[in-house]
Amino acid sequence: MYRSHPVSDLFTSPPGTPVTIAGWVQTIRDHGGLLFIELRDRSGRIQCVVDAKDNRLLEEAAKTLRDEWVISLHGTVGMRPEGTVNASVAGGDREVRVTQLTILNSAKTPPFPVGTSEEVSESLRLTYRYLDMRSPRLLEALRFRSELTALIRNHMTACQFWEIETPLLTRSTPEGARDFLVPSRLEKGSFYALPQSPQLFKQLLMVGGLERYFQIARCFRDEDLRADRQPEFTQVDIEASFLTRDKFLGIIEELFCDIFQKFRGETLSRPFMRLTYDEAMNRYGSDKPDLRYDLPIVDLTDLARNTQFSVFTSAVAAEEGTVRGIRYPGGAALSRKEIEDLTAWAMGQGAKGLAWIKSETGGLASPILKFIPEEVQKGVKERLEAQPGDLLLFIADTRKTALRILGALRQHVAERAGLIDRAKTSLFWVVDFPLLEWNPDEKRYEAIHHPFTAPHPDDLGILSETPEKTRSLAYDLVLNGTEVGGGSLRNHELELQRRIFDLIGLSEEEATRRFGFLLEALSFGAPPHGGMAIGLDRLAMILLGRDSIREVMAFPKTQKGSCLLTEAPSPVDGGQLKELGIRLS
RNA sequence: GGGGCCGUAGCUCAGCUGGUUAGAGCGCUGGCCUGUCACGCCAGAGGUCGCGGGUUCGAGCCCCGUCGGCCCCGCCA
């Protein structure tokens, strides 16, 4: 027998319990004749004692042990003598008195300290991921993720959703992200693509009458990486038939209530807040604002018109021109240099400049005040609800640019001013996204969500005349300023789907060539349906408070998409390429 | 495609204005030690300063290129 208990069970075992435990040697403290072996398994660590005066041979064997060797120990649980209790660790009040030691495997000296909190470069940890995994930090993340996945699976199954797998070898759909391609041997010159998401399949499942589907689905996108983006990642993919948008959102809300109850002990109130896209953009300059703090963006265009400040007046005179501002609580304390840095930061975001006014106990202060009439100053102060000690910041630009920069500035300011309460949860829906967006480069409309998204029924009348003003039935779920999920109701009527394809400049032949199978499916009695995809990795990352998605994946890739452990991607030998009919240029 | 930060012993780092033999702590190896828990004490080994080129009497340090890691913009329906 290798073991009778996981280590953490011993923390509550009564003294005298005979136990066999197995794991890795965390450390050995050799006092010459008396040895302490700290044994680690995935559940925890326990101190084990070997005493030469009880068993000299055992003590000699124990002396040969080294860190990270794999051993099995037999002994009895005992309480530590008075004065030797370590209150700072779990199980620090007891120890295992060893009577038998089996060496299961030796180990080379690890390239970095294993299982400690010491910081080691991430690239080294990725190269030896299996060693890094032995640390509580990574074990906790992987255990949490497993429990999260289990809860989602149980919840969805209990709600009558069926878990269905969809193909990983599928066809390329050039709309959207870049595909990873897989060459076909049987049909040389043709390629499969790895799915960016199971989007089309889940709609086909609805046409197939499955009514409620979900999947913990791996997705692949060949785009540049970020701290929260990997080339392969996991989505909780969901689709359902015969549900209105609000009914469907309710189902997702129940899932998130379950998640927050179990993992945060937090009871979320339903329904979740619904923010329209327009509200989110106008008030917070982002379609995924962090509402753990408010700090709204304020429109000052009408006031700016009545100044002699040419930056403002010329911006306002331009098409779509606007002046908007934001409060930086406590920002009046910033030095000239700090304000310059802030300006440089804003310009890095694409701002042409950053106008500012300090709100002090004595009144306002700023180099631009001389261009601003008294009553306009008063209006600005009131509208921004400026308190003494605040710094007021202004961007004059087109509406779109001004909002985007102020949205970024809002986040930046909140971080700097320490306005973000980490204990808070901000979870809400953003709804009524626009359906389409004009792409000036390609001179055509593009789907904002994806081309299967249904237009808002109230806007069907304006779809043809002003496509860009048409709202859609798309929705995003935003958690603490991160989009954790998004979806939409789909076009289940063939004619409407054809109209959308037409609007995004997809000719009938092209639409048939790419999505003919879907269009045909829609013609065979597709039910009203819609769904959503939740980013499982991101959700786990946020719930654990980690700042990188790599922290919640067992084997993540680097920013250049390589796996330092397996050294993928790698060249392949000529024979393999020949078989596939591929010649490298 | 673009911007920024980083690369010195197994690990984490220091290394001044370019100066002679590149250091520390931890780890490792050997020895001692019977209540430690970052055990302690003694001794020892350990370096392609990421790589290539250049400037210089002289480069870990300056310049150019390159490789790798991280963060960001673009990109990610």
Segment A351-358 shows an average pLDDT of 90
Neighbours of A58 (CB within 10 A): 18
Q: Which nucleotides of B are covered by protein (CB under 7 A)?
A: 1, 10-13, 26-29, 32-40, 68-77
- Between helix A277-284 and helix A399-416 the angle, nearest 10°, is 60
Question: Residues A471-496: pLDDT tens digits?
Answer: 999 999 999 999 999 999 999 999 99
Task: Report the pLDDT value the prediction gives residue A252, as an integer from 0 to 100.
Answer: 98
Assess whether the previous peptide bond of A569 is cis (omega < 30° from 0): yes
Whole-number distance in Å between A256 CA and B2 C1': 39
* Torsion sign (Cα): A229, A430, A470, A513: positive
Contacts of A326 (CB under 8 A, 6+ apart): A295, A296, A297, A298, A384, A392, A393, A406, A409, A410, A413
Q: Which of A314-323, A346-355, A362-371, A568-577 is predicted least confidently?
A: A346-355
Point out the nucleotide closest to A81 (alpha carbon to C1′).
Answer: B35
CB-strand contact A196/B, under 7 Å: yes
Alpha-carbon distance of A485 to A474, in angstroms, equals 11
CB-strand contact A226/B, under 7 Å: yes
Phi first, then psi: give them for residue A512, nearest 5 degrees.
-65, -40
Confidence bin at A243 (pLDDT 50/70/90): very high
Q: What letter does residue A490 receive in the DSSP assignment?
A: B
pLDDT at A442 over 90: no
A418: left (phi over 0), alpha (psi -120 to 50) or beta: left
How many DSSP H helices and E strands does chain A contain?
Answer: 16, 22
Contact A238, A198 (CB under 8 A): no
Q: Residues in chain A, how many?
A: 585
Alpha-carbon distance of A430 to A275, in angstroms, equals 5
Segment A320-325 shows an average pLDDT of 92
Whole-number distance in Å between A223 CA and B75 C1': 6
CB-strand contact A82/B, under 7 Å: no
- A540, A526, A550, A515: which is closest to A239 by C-alpha? A526
> What is the pTM assigned to this prediction?
0.94
pLDDT at A341 over 90: no
Question: Residues A269-318: pLDDT tens digits?
Answer: 999 999 999 999 999 999 999 999 989 999 999 999 999 999 999 999 98
Confidence bin at A362 (pLDDT 50/70/90): confident
The SS3 call for residue A191 is strand
Alpha-carbon distance of A386 to A391, in angstroms, equals 8
Confidence bin at A347 (pLDDT 50/70/90): confident
- Which H helix or E strand runs over A101? strand A94-105
Could you tell me the two tokens for A360?
Answer: 């002090």
Segment A558-581 shows an average pLDDT of 94
Whole-number distance in Å between A34 CA and B45 C1': 28
Confidence bin at A351 (pLDDT 50/70/90): confident
CB-strand contact A52/B, under 7 Å: yes
Question: Residues A540-553: pLDDT tens digits?
Answer: 999 999 999 999 99
Residue type, A335: S
Confidence bin at A348 (pLDDT 50/70/90): confident
Point out the nucleotide closest to A47 (alpha carbon to C1′).
Answer: B37
Confidence bin at A391 (pLDDT 50/70/90): very high
Whole-number distance in Å between A573 CA and B50 C1': 28
Mean pLDDT, chain A, rounded, equals 94
Could you tell me the two tokens for A421?
Answer: 């309460």
Q: Considering only residues 442-481 of protein chain A, which place a Cβ less than 7 A from any atom of strand B?
A: 446-451
Residue type, A473: L
Question: What's the 3-state SS for A342-368?
Answer: HHHHHHHCCCCCCEEEEEECCEEECCC
Phi first, then psi: give them for residue A25, nearest 5 degrees.
-75, 110
The SS3 call for residue A163 is strand
CB-strand contact A61/B, under 7 Å: no
Rg value, chain A, Cα? 30
CB-strand contact A29/B, under 7 Å: yes
pLDDT at A185 over 90: yes
CB-strand contact A483/B, under 7 Å: no
Whole-number distance in Å between A156 CA and B1 C1': 43
Alpha-carbon distance of A90 to A93, in angstroms, equals 8
Segment A548-562 shows an average pLDDT of 96
CA atoms within 13 A on the CB side of A532: 27
The SS3 call for residue A520 is helix
Confidence bin at A439 (pLDDT 50/70/90): confident
Point out the nucleotide closest to A123 (alpha carbon to C1′).
Answer: B69
Question: Residues A46-87: pLDDT tens digits?
Answer: 999 999 999 999 999 999 999 999 999 999 999 999 999 999
**Burial A160-173, CB ≥16 within 10 A → b, else e:** ebeebebeeebebb
User: DSSP string covering A300-352, please?
Assistant: -HHHHHTS--HHHHHHHHSTTEEEEEEEETTGGG--HHHHHHHHHHHHHTT-S
CB-strand contact A582/B, under 7 Å: no
Q: Which of A42-51, A84-93, A284-293, A340-349 is predicted least confidently?
A: A340-349
Segment A110-116 shows an average pLDDT of 93
Taking CA atoms, A133 is separated from A89, A145, A553, in Å, by 20, 14, 10
Confidence bin at A423 (pLDDT 50/70/90): confident
* Torsion sign (Cα): A256, A261, A264, A269: positive
Task: Report the pLDDT value the prediction gives residue A522, as an integer from 0 to 100.
Answer: 96
